[in-house]
Amino acid sequence: MISVVALKKEFRVYRHHRGALGAVRNLVTREAHVVHAVDGVSFRIAPGELVGYLGPNGAGKSTTLKILTGILVPTDGEVRVAGRVPWLQRTEHVRGLGAVFGQRTGLWWDLPVIESLDLLRHIYRVPADRYRQNLRLFDALLDLGPFLDTPVRSLSLGQRMRADLAAALLHDPMLLFLDEPTIGLDVVAKERIRGFIRAINRERGTTVILTTHDLGDVEKLCERVIMIDHGRLVFDGALETLRQRFGEGRVLVVDFETPPGPLSLPGAETIRQEANRVWLRVAAHGSVAGIVPLLFRDQRVLDLSVQEPEIEEVVRRIYEGHLLADEAG
Amino acid sequence: MAQRYDALGRDFTIHASVCTISSVIYLHIAAKSFQKNLAYRAANVAGILTNTFFGAIYISIYTALFRGRGDVGGLDVRDAVTYAIIAQSLLMVMSAFGNRELSEAIVKGQIVTDLSRPLDFYLYWAAIDLGRAVYFLLFRGAPTFVIGMLIFRGRLPADAGTWLLFFSSIVTGTLLSFTFRFIANSLAFWTTDARGILYLTNTLLMFFAGFIVPINFFPAWLRTLAEALPFRGLAQVPINVYLGKMTGPALARVLGEQVLWLIAWVLIGRWVLGRMVQRLTVNGG
Ligand SMILES: Nc1ncnc2c1ncn2[C@@H]1O[C@H](COP(=O)(O)OP(=O)(O)OP(=O)(O)O)[C@@H](O)[C@H]1O
Ligand SMILES: [Mg+2]
């Protein structure tokens, strides 16, 4: 469905000098430096996949999606989407594509939502009965009813995002690009949008690429994660693999009857202690079952729980760059 | 039916039918744009009053000016009164104050979403402007005209043929206005001061259209200049056609010139758009 090979996008950024004299200098000297927004990324996505495209701010996610949409031409590399080169055949390409750029609306600001949807129906030539069918389904999933007649400019952020999602899917695209579809939404709105994305992916087999900074989206939706940083691929695989490979291991929380002395346990390290409670980190490939009996040896244990590494924590550590150096070798 | 593909693999088999379908799409866009303008009804009533008020001011000035004179630049006092009424009626149809919708879409980057639709960007904006112009013709121009005619007793055209020519020249004027404003607005892409450019180009447009002072009243040298420019198609040409001051071969020549200007503006506008899309897709704006 999508194949990306050694994709590169460089931006030339010209330095701007401030003030009146600066304006003159801007005209005379053009000091440019090159930003490598996407720097040699390759991946393939099969039909029907739902992939999370992650990375810290400025990693190159939106740039990649714009290239895949056909509105940016890459500096180098090869891209095929459904057999087409997006930027060369933009009109044909976008006909089979739905895209939501979360920061922007694809609807007409002054028109009621229903009028925007109706116009899109004509632009994408959706047959009338198919349009009605889709509208009914989207209304059931996204509860569009209460604001269908409201002009887009007066919608709340969550309502607008729901309307935008419906608009992106009216013409039954095979492919859906979502750039931060849950940005700025409350918990309930996020849940609703996640449910919708999942339903579209499962029931229609729509291939979805989703960028987000909300790892809840990723945990609830994506089996596969592609992560980039500074325009380079950092990870491509299952979410579970990411957790195992980059997690710092599980944490064992133990409540003793009385405050324990210093514990020395093979394969576990004390990371925190408060009165009777001790937090122990079990090495990534260590076994909890091997440690537990040792705890009971000298002390009475009142309670015991195991915490899986939080995906938030895993991703934070990757973004902060603790693990990249090792990976890069 | 055998399928034919061009070098990029595009299917050309159903070209003819696709063309008819897509013009329908642009009509739908125009209809939605019309509808959007319909939402501002109260503002429109205020607009009609304003146009009528300025019409009245022009008319009182012309009446004072014409006292003791039969004819100025080929117009008599009733012609001048009619000129003022029609000029006020056409102001918004021709978007004489300009509009910044396109330049704002460019500056704010909304044009990126527009590019992700299977549409011809130029025709898309043309359709939006068509909807706007038709709205202003029906809901602003027509009422202002009728009220002005009733109060100030302007002239009516000689015959049905004149009405027809008047309408054709309005259509040409609207298209000239759009194609010119498209270019002016697009320049927003290359400058940080889009407002400055639009201010300048709109003043040019409004003055040389003959909206502020009838071109008939210009001194000879300025009149020669105004008649060499296309902008008079927005006001002076339709009004002189209406008054029967432009007929026969002279009118044919003027309309012919305007069509040539129109073709030039479309070609330049499309060229500028091409540069813009190329810059945008290659450099990311
Ligand atoms: N049009 C442009 N001109 C110059 N530099 C750009 C342009 N667009 C993006 N960049 C730069 O390219 C890099 C990648 O930007 P991009 O928007 O793709 O990041 P992102 O991963 O989407 O980040 P975020 O999570 O903040 O949305 C950044 O350093 C950004 O400043
Ligand atoms: Mg982004």
Q: Does A71 touch chain B (CB under 8 A)?
A: yes
Q: Within its chain, how far is the Cα of B168 from the centroid?
A: 12
Please give the pLDDT value at position B100.
85
Q: Residue A37 Cα, ligand 1 centroid: separation in angstroms?
A: 6
Please give the pLDDT value at position A322.
57
pTM of the model: 0.84
Identify the weakest region by mean pLDDT among A160-169, A177-186, A242-251, B275-284: A242-251
Task: Choose the most confident range, by mean pLDDT, from A99-108, A256-265, B163-172.
Answer: B163-172
Task: Choose the most confident range, by mean pLDDT, from A285-294, A306-315, A318-327, B272-281.
Answer: B272-281
Please give the pLDDT value at position B139.
97
Residue contact A123–B116, C-beta within 8 A: no
The Cα–Cα gap between A121 and A325 comes to: 50
The Cα–Cα gap between A329 and B134 comes to: 67
pLDDT tens for each residue of A301-320: 889 888 877 777 788 878 87
Question: Residue A124's closest chain B neighbor by CA?
Answer: B118
Confidence of residue A240 (pLDDT cuts 50, 70, 90): confident
3-state DSSP assignment of residue B109: coil
Q: Which two tokens stand for residue A63?
A: 């740039």
Question: Is pLDDT at B197 greater than 90 in this prediction?
Answer: no
User: What's the mean pLDDT in B44-63?
Assistant: 95
Question: Is pLDDT at B276 greater than 80 in this prediction?
Answer: yes
pLDDT tens for each residue of A87-134: 999 889 999 999 998 888 889 988 999 999 999 999 999 999 999 999
Tell me whether 0.85 is exceeded by the ipTM.
Answer: no
Please give the pLDDT value at position A324.
54
Q: How many domains does chain B have?
A: 1
A205: left (phi over 0), alpha (psi -120 to 50) or beta: left
For residue B52, the enclosing domain spans 2-284
Q: Which of B116, B121, B135, B273 is best to mutate for the A interface (most A CBs within 10 A)? A: B116
Q: Does A90 touch chain B (CB under 8 A)?
A: yes
Out of B28, B35, B36, whose CB is closest to A122?
A: B28
Out of A72, A105, A122, whose CB is closest to B284?
A: A72
Residues A40, A8 contacting (CB under 8 angstroms) = yes
User: What's the mean pLDDT in A207-222?
Assistant: 92
A61 Cβ inside 6 Å of ligand 1: yes
pLDDT tens for each residue of A142-168: 999 999 999 999 999 999 999 999 999
Question: Is pLDDT at B7 greater than 50 in this prediction?
Answer: no
Q: Which ligand is nearest to the CA of A34?
A: 1
